Amino acid sequence: MASEQNAPAAGKLWGGRFTGGQDPIMTQYNESIYFDRVFYSQDIRGSIAYARANKNNKLLTEHEFSEIERGFKQILQEWQDNTFKIQPGVDEDIHTANERRLGEIIGKDIAGKLHTGRSRNDQVATDMRLWLRDQLDTLEGYLVDFLKVIAARAEKDIEHVMPGYTHLQRAQPIRWSHWMLMYGSFFASDLQRLRELKARVNKSPLGCGALAGNPFNIDREAIAKELGFDGLIMNSMAGVSDRDFVVETLQWGSTLMMHFSRWAEDLIIYSSGEFAFVKLADAYSTGSSLMPQKKNPDSLELIRGKAGRAFGHMTGLMMSVKGIPSTYNKDLQESVEPLLDHVKTVGDSTQIATGVLSTLAIQPDAMLRSLTPDMLATDLADYLVRKGVPFRETHHISGQCVALAEKENTPMDKLSFEQLQGIDARFEKDVLGVFDYQKSVEMRSAKGGTSKSAVMEQIEAVKKALAGQ
């Protein structure tokens, strides 16, 4: 049951209208300072830019602006030195905290002029966009590093051949590098989407006021230029209520994590004793508290698990936003914590994935041992296609060869020429040359295929994606 004691509204930015106190639990429920303080530097940058615009509007004197700038520089240093003292119950958010401290440093008379024409509605939207813009730059760097490792390892390990799978059943031989570049293609698309997202994030809402705009003809374009924005959100109501930039970030991150999860699942399977295609470095593995022989791929399992966490951020926020009416509602505060955790989750996962792949040891002999002649059944059909037989007929003939090998309990490449001719007289002596895994992968030389030349083209495509081409 809530306490009957009241917390006074005095000292709040909005306290003038209220005569009654506030339930202490409501105070805690409402405040965001303990997570939105991460925006301290962005809030200060935006406040200085806004104060400069008010100085240019003659709402602040040169001296007043100079004092505001001096005070904020001291506050910034306090945050950086971890000496800023949050006042519980008073500093409900980062904006309140910074403005309260500014008044203590330069006096409330001057500090009280800072907020003229501004609302926390456009202020928080600005802070979030500034912060996210920097974070997306960092995430882009992490993703670029990961793609560089994919390209480098694909080039280095290009000679090795392994089974390719559909339905988790052995299908056709492929190059190990071709498998890596499948994910390289996915992640290159993620990089492109990230760069497109950044352009939409980097729009300025500052100067939109609470919802109706600024009454002092403030120069929003000058503010946006000072803060490094590419342009303005042109509708003031949209400026304060838009969280699409957060939703889209969470959608982008969820897509990236979906790809990481699939990539991790493949490597978890490939690192098992039954496959043994790869070995994880000790730095990205753990042991068992009971079984000394165990080496567990916990790094990959955590990536796979954290994908679900990322999806939760996205769906949770979309459910919070979907039903609220126009402009600012306090529901939008729920966009901050998921964003903070999402950015950290995605950034950590990308760095771990880069570490895993750069230190991964492949085991080509195990890959070769997993190849079986029946995986060349399509090559056998293609052999007859080159002799003019329709593919639907050659598919049936090749299937008969597979059935005979199973009946005789012998590998397909051990069937005699006479046995093959017994199935179809159009087989010639050179048919036995079909059963060559390296030849099989080299035959698939069309763009996007698994031949060496096609794989090298894919590596170049990834490199071009990194360069933004």
**Complete DSSP assignment for 119-131:** -HHHHHHHHHHHH
Task: Say yes or no to pLDDT of 198 above 70.
Answer: yes
Look over the chain and give the mean of its residue pLDDT values, rounded to a whole number: 94
pTM of the model: 0.92
Mean pLDDT for the stretch of residues 403-420 = 94
Alpha carbon distance 368, 275 (integer Å): 11
If pLDDT is split at 50, 70 and 90, which confidence band does 288 have?
A: confident
Which one of 111, 137, 156 terminates a domain? 111
Q: Which residue has the higher pLDDT, 52 or 89?
A: 52
How far does CA 438 lie from the centroid of its chain? 36
Same domain, 232 and 106: no
Burial 391-404 (b: 16+ CB within 10 A, else e): eeebbebbeebeeb
Mean pLDDT for the stretch of residues 79-85 = 98
At 469 the pLDDT is 75
Mean pLDDT for the stretch of residues 38-66 = 98
Domain-located, residue 165: yes
What letter does residue 53 receive in the DSSP assignment? Answer: H
Please give the backbone phi and psi of residue 113, each rounded to the nearest 5 degrees, phi first.
-85, -15
Same domain, 230 and 299: yes
Which one of 77, 111, 145 terminates a domain? 111
Domain-located, residue 177: yes
Mean pLDDT for the stretch of residues 11-28 = 68
Same domain, 283 and 331: yes
Domain-located, residue 26: no
If pLDDT is split at 50, 70 and 90, which confidence band does 376 have?
A: very high
For residues 335 and 314, the answer to whether their CB atoms sit within 8 Å is: no
At 2 the pLDDT is 38
Mean pLDDT for the stretch of residues 299-316 = 98
Mean pLDDT for the stretch of residues 235-247 = 98
What letter does residue 324 receive in the DSSP assignment? Answer: -
Which one of 344, 369, 394 terminates a domain? 369
Same domain, 405 and 283: no
Task: Say yes or no to pLDDT of 19 above 60.
Answer: no
Per annotation, catalytic residue among 3, 47, 115, 167 = 167
Angle at 160 between CA 350 and CA 449, to 5 degrees: 80
What is the residue range of 378's domain?
Answer: 373-448
| Tally of domains within the chain | 3
Task: Say yes or no to pLDDT of 160 above 90.
Answer: yes
> What length does the chain have?
469
Mean pLDDT for the stretch of residues 113-133 = 97
Same domain, 160 and 46: no
How far does CA 444 lie from the centroid of its chain? 33
Domain-located, residue 421: yes
Same domain, 359 and 388: no
Domain-located, residue 458: no
Annotation marks residue 288 as catalytic: yes
Per annotation, catalytic residue among 272, 288, 416, 453 = 288
